[in-house]
Chains A and B, each alone.
Chain A
């Protein structure tokens, strides 16, 4: 831990000091450079604050802890990476989270995209009421949504568990999909569709060949957001789960009380790398298309 923090401090000093020194040497004044770039230095520190826990998670996936908790560095080991499912129950919870995440993503993306098209492309009575209804779940604390769903399920004697969790996840992912897709629709050039119509494309053809491909990145972004929200949710899920439906975040929560297996960090690291790769590939494909 000490090595990591000191390493970061040294890199910062070398980076900022080096740039200031360069400014000094080319005769622009090192102190002046620092004063002009104070905002960048602040941003650098903010980035480190944001990313430090991720670095710790990755490092500690190679730890061999001395005891039940993986909080202090003991010695290097690949055990957890070689046997990721050795932590009892963890891979089951991971599987459940992935299944719920995928199902919630598909449902929320379809329902949300339909709403986004209605809001983005049509003028109708009840528009602002709909906007408010979409906004409300995003402005409600999770604990309120989770507990209100619990009272609904209890009062109507709907059993808790996987189905209840899925219902809840679709509900809170929906608004985020709507907002993401709506922004994409609003940013589109309407002349492209008019051009298609001028070229005798009928409505279906225009929609499938022009509109949908143009909105697709927004739908993909919305789906990704929905999946990450669903996969990561603890508070709402906890209200609607039973001991038979332990999701991955619930598993981690339990582990935080009983003892944290290193395998948790392995999964955290894998997710981080896969998502990072997906975003980088997605961006490079996007830029190539533009070029």
Chain B
């Protein structure tokens, strides 16, 4: 222990007494933190304050803006774009559930069923990232387009009728429909779901499952009582990493959807860069941020996992 106590490199868990250290050592972490934390403070935190302030300002591009605490901008913006706002959360929510349903068997298989192929399959999970995701989303236009085999399969199998019944598709095509947007969101964020799931599944001690079956648990009971609870941190991390970017995304809705699938990100982008109505755009952007923070806090509380990072 004496060695550990003298070393500044000693891990936190080794429990060095802070008071014993010379002042220089106590300053070390702050020196290490300073440049990066300053960067995040100036280019992440401060812009958020500017965003909040911008949303409460009035004026025009020509005359300039002044802070008037005009809260009505929020009411106007949210009522005008309420359908896009709700749609974003609905699409993101459905995509997250689908990604969990698809990603869980995937992560489970890689963690428990493939033995020495594990590393190769993990590479395949991140392999899609190696091609720009805009190019891949454009590839879905090819896959889902016109009279392709996927459309034919959906028509013949009755899936198309089912999708039409729940209004995810409105005619006999898949491209430019809510279905295509949700499918694209699920696809794009699936690795963000799979990797945290894998990380938590891989850590499970297999002897726990053996103990379960020794105690006459059927495979499904063992899964429900042992594997699933132990994988919950991965489920929480994966769903957050899928839901948050999906709620703000507008690339899928722009490239795979139609004007009736517009999501809130598209509106914010348009208000900022084309309409140039900065207060409205800022109010929408800030509302999106606050809504997501509230949802995440409630969700994490309910899931009971504080350990996120």
Contact = CB atoms under 8 A, between A and B. Distances in A.
Interface of A: 1-2, 5-6, 39-40, 42-43, 46-47, 49-54, 56-57, 60, 71-72, 111-112, 114-115, 117-118, 120-124, 130-131, 133-145, 147-152, 154-155, 167-168, 170-171, 174-175, 178-179, 182, 186, 190, 193-194, 197-198, 203, 206-207, 211, 228, 231-232, 234-235, 238-239, 248-249, 252-253, 256, 260, 264-265, 267-269, 271-272, 274-276, 279-280, 283
Given A2-B149, A203-B9, A43 B265 contact: no
A112 B36 contact: yes
Contacts of B150: 5
Given A53-B187, A143-B269, A198-B3, A133 B40 contact: yes
Given A47-B124, A148-B285, A130 B11 contact: no
Interface residues of B: mostly helix, strand, loop or mixed?
A: helix
B136 A53 contact: yes
Nearest to A249: B134
User: How big is the B interface, by class?
Assistant: 35 or more
B26 interface: yes
Given A43-B110, A232-B129, A133 B308 contact: no
A43 B132 contact: no
Contact of A167 (B14, B43, B255, B272): B43
B309 A118 contact: no
Contacts of A149: 43, 47
Contacts of B60: none
B258 interface: no
B134 A206 contact: no
B138 interface: yes
Nearest to B48: A148
B298 to A, nearest CB: 14
B304 interface: no
A228 B133 CA distance: 11
Contacts of A203: 7-9
Interface in B49-67: 50-51, 54
Nearest to A150: B272
B26 A252 contact: no
A194 B8 CA distance: 11
A40 B278 CA distance: 50
Contact of A111 (B35, B123, B128): B35
B91 to A, nearest CB: 13
A249 B134 CA distance: 7
Interface of B: 3-4, 6-12, 14, 16, 18, 26, 28-30, 32-33, 35-37, 39-41, 43-48, 50-51, 54, 102-103, 105-106, 108-110, 113, 119, 121, 123-143, 145-146, 148-150, 187, 190-191, 240-241, 244-245, 247-251, 255, 264-265, 268-269, 272-273, 278, 281-282, 285-286, 288-289, 292-293, 296, 308-309
B102 A252 contact: no
Contacts, number: 296
B7 A143 contact: no
Contacts of B132: 231-232, 248-249, 252, 267-268, 271
A53 B128 contact: yes
Contacts of A52: 139, 143
Contacts of B12: 120-123
Contact of B251 (A117, A140, A234): A234
A47 B106 contact: yes
Interface of A is mostly: helix
A205 B288 CA distance: 49
B131 A124 contact: no
* Chain A CB within 10 Å, residue with most, of B43, B272, B289: B43
Given A39-B113, A151-B47, A231-B132, 18 more contacts: A1-B149, A2-B148, A42-B105, A52-B143, A53-B128, A54-B128, A54-B136, A124-B18, A133-B44, A137-B44, A143-B285, A171-B43, A175-B40, A203-B7, A235-B269, A239-B272, A256-B138, A256-B255
